[in-house]
Structure 1
Amino acid sequence: MRAFRWPPPPDGGPRTWGPGPGAPRTGRPPLPDPETELVATPHGVRLERLVTGVGDPVTVFAHGLANGIATTRPFGSGVTGRRVFFQFRGHGRSDAPDGPWSYLDLARDLRAIADLSGATRAFGASLGAGALCRLLAESPHRFERLVFFLPAALDRPRGPVARARLIELLSAVESGDASAAAEVVSTELPPAVRNTPAGWAYLRQRLDHLLRDGLAAGLVDLPEQAPLPDVSVLARVTAPALVIAAEGDDLHPVEVAEQLAAVLPRATLHRYDRPGVLWTDRADLRGRIADFLNGVN
């Protein structure tokens, strides 16, 4: 595997030199960003929101740390009704009020968007899964169906690896160094995808958002916090839940997903046998989420 390099080849690369076909292998350019809106919330923090689809039911999608609407939208493919995507505080165009912030603050962001949108179903990825757990600790019957994708923490903090990764990304984004930011973001890709047209397209989109909107410094302490003081409070949640884990993902240990599935009374746990499932098992993942939220299984 060739080492990662930035900037990318101008044609979307990579370009292979030497004998063989000489035409460039271009990646499909990413779709233009849809128009979002800033929504005023009862707790005084304006949050960026995108609503797609029509009708009921309504599903709210909560993204992971240093991610956002663009990276969360693929999870909604095939989900019926309206799909509501948003940016937590400190991400995208959402406000970044004075910190420090906690999972309680993130839960308030999620609750506000869900209430304002009339959402009855919820999806949370990584950080978003933690915020969803914090919301459910206070309102266990708020949603009718739940999906937790790669939960990262419950009653224990994420630890030094996640914090170091976030600090590195925050520093690169703050400096405006696209190459340094690309090096950090590229670790989100499976090795086989790096230096491919699809990988370059993903990196370009992520860097466009990060370097345009930035990331708030208030996020830096979140990896050292736990969403819940005691995971047993989730035993009051009676909604059907799907918990998704991936073996070999050191930022999202399978043990956390197992713990969450064990405490939720009506949870189903699905494990993928390798990380990077949005790249390696994309169709199965999206179909599994859609079927569950749509009540097919």
Structure 2
Amino acid sequence: MRGFRWPPPPDGGPRTWGPGPGGPRTGRPALPEPETELVATPHGVSLERLVTGVGDPVTVFAHGLGNGIATTRPFGSGVTGRRIFFQFRGHGRSDSPPGPWTYLDLARDLRAVADLGGATRAFGASLGAGALCRLLAESPERFEKLVFFLPAVLDTPRGEVARARLTGLLDAVADGDAHALAEAVSLELPPSVRNTPAGWAYLRQRLDQLLRDGLAPGLAGLPEQAALDDAAALAAVTAPALVIACADDDLHPVAVAEQLAAALPAATLHVYDRPGVLWTERADLRGRISTFLNG
């Protein structure tokens, strides 16, 4: 596999070195960031929010660590009704109260946004899936339908590889080191997409956002925490749930998704055979999520 280049060439190319055709040009970057608003919450933390669509039902979307509204919007593109996207504390324009923070704090952010918007369905990706689990452990009947995309942690902290990658991302943002940050973000891309125009577009957008908004120091302790004390706390959740995982994903082990699906009484598990499905299986992923939530 050819290596990753940084800084990028001015014209976005070449895609490869040496003889042979250029690299793959498939895949799409995250959607451009739209106009958002800041909303006050009952627990005193203002959170950045975007509401799209009209009517009922209402679905709230919770993002992963170091991500946000722009990277979460593609999951809701086929979902009917209103869609509420937001930034957890320490991300984007959301407040950064004194830390360190726990999954309980993130669950409060998620609950506040869901309550303010009247959401009856919830989607959680990675960190957002952990926050959703923590909310459900306290309020098992809060939502009517649930989607968990790439759950990363349940009742056991993340593994060493995952902690190292997330710590590297947080350190690069804190240092303002564009090269180190580009290397960290490039790992989010499948090898076939790196050094393609689509890959560079995604990378530039992510770097612009992270270097502009930063990530709060209060997030640093989250990679070492578990979302729940005991996964058995989810046994009272009766809402239909869809759990999605990918094989060979170091940050989101299939074993965590399997444990979550087993803990939820009405869960369906789907495992893709490789990571990077937003690039390689985008249409199938969006259809799977929208079919489940709209059905």
TM-score of the two chains, using structure 1 as the length reference: 0.94
Q: Which residue of 1 aligns with 2:175?
A: 175
Query: Which sections of structure 1, spanning at least 5 residues, go unmatched?
Result: none
Q: Which residue of 2 aligns with 1:245?
A: 245
CA distance in 2, matches of 1:243, 1:26: 26
CA distance in 2, matches of 1:252, 1:28: 22
| Contact 1:178 1:207 survives alignment (8 Å) | yes
Instruction: String of CA shifts for 1:48-107, please: whole Å, max 9, x gaps.
Output: 111111111110000011111111111001000111100101111111110111000000
Distance change (3 Å), C-alpha of 1:263 and 1:67: same
Quote the offset at 1:176 in angstroms: 1.7
CA distance in 2, matches of 1:18, 1:152: 38
Please tell me whether residue 73 in structure 1 is matched to residue 73 in structure 2: yes
Quote the offset at 1:2 in angstroms: 2.8
Q: Which residue of 2 aligns with 1:101?
A: 101
Q: Which residue of 1 aligns with 2:225?
A: 225
Q: Which residue of 2 aligns with 1:2?
A: 2
Quote the offset at 1:249 in angstroms: 0.7
Q: Deviation above 3 Å: which 4+ runs of structure 1?
A: 15-22, 25-32
The worse-fitting range, judged by mean Cα deviation, of 164-173 and 225-234 is: 164-173
CA distance in 2, matches of 1:271, 1:198: 25
Q: Which residue of 1 aligns with 2:215?
A: 215
SS at match of 2:187: helix
Please tell me whether residue 193 in structure 1 is matched to residue 193 in structure 2: yes
Of all paired residues, the percent bearing the same amino acid is 84
Distance change (3 Å), C-alpha of 1:74 and 1:31: closer
SS at match of 1:259: helix
CA distance in 2, matches of 1:19, 1:260: 47
Quote the offset at 1:168 in angstroms: 1.4
Residue identity matched to 1:200: W
Distance change (3 Å), C-alpha of 1:263 and 1:14: same
Equivalent pairs, count: 293
Quote the offset at 1:31 in angstroms: 5.5
Query: Which sections of structure 2, spanning at least 5 residues, go unmatched?
Result: none
Quote the offset at 1:159 in angstroms: 2.8
Distance change (3 Å), C-alpha of 1:14 and 1:105: same
Quote the offset at 1:27 in angstroms: 9.7
Q: Which residue of 1 aligns with 2:164?
A: 164
CA distance in 2, matches of 1:257, 1:32: 30
Distance change (3 Å), C-alpha of 1:183 and 1:18: closer
Distance change (3 Å), C-alpha of 1:10 and 1:28: farther
CA distance in 2, matches of 1:230, 1:207: 36
Residue identity matched to 2:121: R
Q: Which residue of 2 aligns with 1:149?
A: 149
| Contact 1:246 1:275 survives alignment (8 Å) | yes
CA distance in 2, matches of 1:105, 1:28: 32
Please tell me whether residue 125 in structure 1 is matched to residue 134 in structure 2: no
CA distance in 1, matches of 2:168, 2:221: 13
Quote the offset at 1:17 in angstroms: 7.0
CA distance in 1, matches of 2:264, 2:31: 38
| Contact 2:31 2:74 survives alignment (8 Å) | no
CA distance in 2, matches of 1:123, 1:192: 28
Residue identity matched to 1:128: G
CA distance in 1, matches of 2:104, 2:31: 34
Residue identity matched to 1:224: E
Instruction: String of CA shifts for 1:121-167, please: whole Å, max 9, x gaps.
Output: 00000110000000000100000000000111111111322222122
Please tell me whether residue 115 in structure 1 is matched to residue 100 in structure 2: no
Residue identity matched to 2:143: F
Q: Which residue of 2 aligns with 1:260?
A: 260
SS at match of 2:239: coil
Q: Which residue of 2 aligns with 1:287?
A: 287
Distance change (3 Å), C-alpha of 1:232 and 1:105: same
Distance change (3 Å), C-alpha of 1:21 and 1:155: closer
Distance change (3 Å), C-alpha of 1:30 and 1:266: closer
Distance change (3 Å), C-alpha of 1:7 and 1:118: same
